[in-house]
Structure 1
């Protein structure tokens, strides 16, 4: 990748973690165990029958994976040993490429423990977007114009989302990339590239040192288990690249970047209704940087492009929200998933996605919020990014529309929370190993639909 070794880049130790970090890890483990135990009891009582293994939309493996995970274990050991070295030795651009490739390999090797056909298999389900492509192929404009009126006749995931994800699959098909294998490749490539976008955002706003400390944890985040293959992973990539373009535009006063960032961010509500709270993350970027009025104006124009295009095409977003909510309200998933259980359990799933390293760092990462409010100053950038992502998940959980299946829904939010792990003092191999063990245990014991 490089012709000569870059000089070692010193990375200062992070601030000492708050003592409550150990308590947070204990609570993290207790919350996960308690919600699975409660889910088992609810299911036995007939009160949570939509999911085989609540709070996950998954089932327990009859026989846990053992030898199937040997390649993933080998990769995990290699990463724990080498990632801290690469972070210190590689120059910035080669490091970003290495991080992307490492994330890609980690995602794929975990998925391959279920066999070579598993990567595309989730997209072949009758509930997924490809199952409803025939009406789009016949008349894309007519399909969009009548989308809300004919919503009940579409597969589950099309009914539960705005039209843009389905149009992404249609566009791939029209471009000659037919079949779910190509769709899976695109999803994984876009999703794993978010590691680059998030690291670049942190570097722009808080400096390269902090971005380097965050990178190993971005690579080894347990959330990669749901990158192959859920469309929400694609949403992660779109949101992350939109945010980094906004950060670049705000810091460098670049109108073109603002337009591109606005275009990507403006597409989020048309990819998923549940992505609206994700705007808290780019909003935190704008608050931290305070860009020029010119950049803000161009950004807003960019954000308007997708909504205007869909409105002119015949899809009115508020009507889509209302229709989707109505189908959800009368669906089996809504009726069979108790609100109060999932209000708590959804955060246990979030804990699985981010892992114990983030749980340990979260109290000290969020602690400056209180001081900032008292002193009427902005908190540190990592606190703002992590807090914004967490706020988005709280808003969705309280709304009650994310009861279950959040292992995929949380992916675009959880990736930003990985920035909290940058508080760990390098090389942090113990915490990296804990992240890897979390992912390996879940993959060994749980058979997910995604």
Structure 2
């Protein structure tokens, strides 16, 4: 208290305004960049220079009639989650918070997809270009299918030949387990993809502390990327990467060597499977590397991770699939196709980043300057604050996106491809000075607007 009995302010209003200015500038760039990219895409398509997509840079089309009353359940779910999640994240016991985060993410993804009717949950997987359509070629002899996968690649469906064999084999295994059909496949995709909310929370608790992890949960659950979690197989890729990273972080923090070693091996197996789920997931390994740099695991954990990492590559190699051959064969089919290889590199160089902005939302754009500031302070002080520990995997995910974007391999259709990367970025919206119920509502509103206006094949 001062001599006059009044409480001094923690920061004068002008100073607070200056601190927030970079965030508002970043938000303005986010909005202007998205608008500019969609406007340029409209002009290119009108000129006949971008005919592969109806609504570039999205592989989607604008709805003839925007959804109205159909959005009511999703809007109600958004309102309930915005109201409940911050309080639940702050007050629930940690073990109870994880299933709540999972359930909240599943509710949000399903509510958005169901705006087009319950059939929309499985409809994307019914397309003749998708993985389930290729299962008929696997059923007679999966081992023979795997051995000849590369040489027979041209005869497979679009998504089968565009990826390594593991996603198709996962759906085949689901069918063999007595869960056939695209309905069960959709349930598998949604359940696994939304579980990543819990995995990311576990990871952040290990490296940034429980308070930071709790703050991130509402933003991870209500991320706009949920529009594409139901039902794109990339949601499964997100789950595998997120749980592999979470297990690696748990191993680094485990008090008992045996438990830590087991978690390390399991995490390594999941992370080692990423290149066999999608060739484009290799840069995503920057995220677990960033987490390990923050957690500083001991030699036993690193040895366990290394042992786990070789399991899937060794198994596929022994069974007849050589990963480099798969890359070359997929690239050949990509170059001769009339799909994404024909798209403009210069347009999608920026267009893909605009799509990332849609997946992550305005709160992440506002938080980016604080993310950079947290990392800069950590470098200067040589100490990792909780904010920097949240910013580190987010920045690693952004680096992975930039690598793929600059490579030119990901030209379009990134609304699903970016999902495993974007989920780590949304956690940055919870940084001090950024996370609030208002920003959480803005994230939900972004997803609702996209769902109401855009009809996506996924």
Q: Secondary structure at the match of 2:49?
A: coil
Tell me which structure has the larger Cα radius of gyration.
2
2:139 is the counterpart of 1:130: no
Q: Deviations over 1:101-120 (max 9, x none)?
A: 11111111111100111000
CA contact (8 A) 1:162 1:270 kept: yes
2:223 is the counterpart of 1:215: no
Gaps of 5+ in 2: 1-15
2:302 is the counterpart of 1:300: no
What is residue 228 of structure 2 aligned with on the other side? 226
Shift of 1:207: 0.6
Higher relative contact order (CA 8 A, sep 6+): 1
Equivalent runs, 1:130-279 vs 2, <5 Å: 130-252=132-254, 253=257, 254-279=260-285
Q: Separation in 1 of the partners of 2:191 and 2:126?
A: 19
What is residue 5 of structure 1 aligned with on the other side? none
Equivalent runs, 1:48-447 vs 2, <5 Å: 48-252=50-254, 253=257, 254-373=260-379, 380-425=388-433, 428-447=436-455
Q: Deviations over 1:118-150 (max 9, x none)?
A: 000000001001111112101101000000000
Q: Separation in 2 of the partners of 1:201 and 1:18?
A: 28
CA contact (8 A) 2:50 2:343 kept: yes
Equivalent runs, 1:20-39 vs 2, <5 Å: 20-39=22-41
CA contact (8 A) 2:367 2:434 kept: no
Q: Secondary structure at the match of 2:41?
A: helix
Q: Separation in 2 of the partners of 1:335 and 1:166?
A: 23
Shift of 1:432: 1.0
Gaps of 5+ in 1: 1-15
Q: Separation in 2 of the partners of 1:424 and 1:29?
A: 22
Shift of 1:372: 4.5
CA contact (8 A) 1:204 1:247 kept: yes
Q: Separation in 2 of the partners of 1:347 and 1:58?
A: 16
CA contact (8 A) 2:340 2:412 kept: no
Distance 1:419 1:216, change over 3 A: same
Q: How many residues align?
A: 435
Shift of 1:93: 1.3
CA contact (8 A) 1:47 1:336 kept: no
Q: Secondary structure at the match of 2:61?
A: strand
Distance 1:206 1:376, change over 3 A: closer
Q: Secondary structure at the match of 2:120?
A: coil
Distance 1:154 1:208, change over 3 A: same
Shift of 1:376: 5.9
Q: Separation in 2 of the partners of 1:88 and 1:390?
A: 28
Q: Separation in 2 of the partners of 1:335 and 1:245?
A: 37
Aligned Cα root-mean-square deviation (Å)? 1.4
Q: Secondary structure at the match of 1:138?
A: coil
Shift of 1:367: 2.1
Shift of 1:334: 3.3
CA contact (8 A) 2:343 2:411 kept: yes
CA contact (8 A) 2:206 2:295 kept: no
Moved more, 384-393 or 83-92: 83-92
Structure 1 segments of 4+ aligned residues over 3 angstroms from their partners: 368-379, 424-427
Q: Secondary structure at the match of 1:56?
A: coil
CA contact (8 A) 2:363 2:434 kept: no
Shift of 1:377: 5.9
CA contact (8 A) 1:111 1:228 kept: yes
CA contact (8 A) 1:141 1:313 kept: yes
